[in-house]
Amino acid sequence: MSEGFALDWLAKREAVDLAARNPILARAFADYVRGIGVGRPLQIIDLGSGSGASFRALAPLIAIDQEWILIELAPDLLAVQTRMIAAWAGAKGWPVETGDDGGITVTGPTDCGAGGRWRARARRLDLARDLGQLDAMPCDAMTSAAFIDLVSGRWLEALAQILSARRLPFLGVLAVDGRRLWQPAEKGDGRLQEGFVLSQTADKGFGPALGPRAPRFLEASLSGLGFAVTTGFSDWHLGPEDGALLAELLAGEAAAAARAMPNFAPLFDQWERSRERSLAAGRLRAMIGHLDLLALPR
C-alpha cells in the first residue's frame, strides 16, 4: 500500500471506525488510566498512529491532562497528524496551540466535564525494527488501532513482554477477526473470503502476519502474563451510505485475494464486477468483523 493510498483509506474509514469502537472497553480503559494520571499529565503511546484517530477518539473520554506520543513510520501520515487534530478541535470550538517541536495541544471543554489539556506529539519510529525503543519512553498506557492484525506472533509476544515488564494497560481496537458477511449473497463469497484471509497473513514488514488470529493470540499472551483481558466486538456495518468505503473494499479485497490465489483471479474479478452492480443499485451491505482488546495489569 502506498503512503498516499494509506492516507486516503484512513480518511474514508475514520467515521466508521469511530462508530464501531467498543464503547464499554473504551470507557473501562479511560476510567483505569484516569486513576494513574493524578497530579501530572497522563503519558500515552499510540502504536501505528496513522493520522491520530485514537487521540481524537480517546482524549475527550479520558478527560484529564494527557501527553500522547503518536508513533508512525509513514512520512505523509506524520505530516497530517497536527493538521487533522487542529481541524477536529476547531470544528468543536476547542482552543488549539502548536509548539516549536511540532506538537499540538487541545484544551478540552470544562462545561461538559471533558476538561484538561491534551497534547499530542508525533514520533517517527520503525516498530518492526525498533520496538525496544519504547522502553526508554515515558509511558503510563499504550493503545493501537487497526494494527495488531498486521504483525507476527513473535512481534506480539515482544509487545506483551514490554507491557508486562512495565505493567502498562493496553487498548488495541479494530483488529480484524475473520468474520465477513456480504449481502446479498454472491457466487464466490466463500472462495473470496479464503483468498483474502490468506492475503492477511502475508508479511507486512513484521514477519508473517497473524491476521484474524491476532486478537486471540494477544489475549492468550497477556492473560498468561497476569493481565485481566477483555475483548468486545467492534464490527463495521456498512450500507449504501458508505459507498466510497464499500467501493474501496471491493477493489482491495478482490485484488488481495487474486494475489494470494492467482488461479482464481477470474472468479474474483467476476465477484468484484457483480458486487459493483449491487453497489450501484444501492443494495450492497457488508459486516466486517473486528475485535477490541483491553488488557489491565493485576
Residue labelled with grid coordinates 497528524: 81
Residues 6+ apart with CB under 8 A from 205: 128
Report whether pLDDT(4) > 50.
Answer: no
Of the listed ranges 77-91, 100-114, 136-150, 268-282, the one predicted with least confidence? 100-114
Report whether pLDDT(49) > 80.
Answer: yes
pTM to 2 decimals? 0.94
Q: What is the pLDDT of residue 2?
A: 36
Report whether pLDDT(112) > 80.
Answer: no
- Angle formed by the axes of helices 75-92 and 3-20, to 10°? 40
Mean pLDDT of 136-155: 96
Residues 6+ apart with CB under 8 A from 45: 68, 69, 71, 134, 137, 139, 141, 142, 143
Residue 109: pLDDT band (50, 70, 90) is confident
Sketch out the chain's domains with CATH numbers: 3-178+205-238+288-297 (3.40.50.150)
Residue 203: pLDDT band (50, 70, 90) is very high
What percent of the chain clears pLDDT 70, i.e. is strictly above it? 96
- All cell numbers assigned to 236: 463495521
Mean pLDDT of 284-298: 97
Mean pLDDT of 27-33: 97
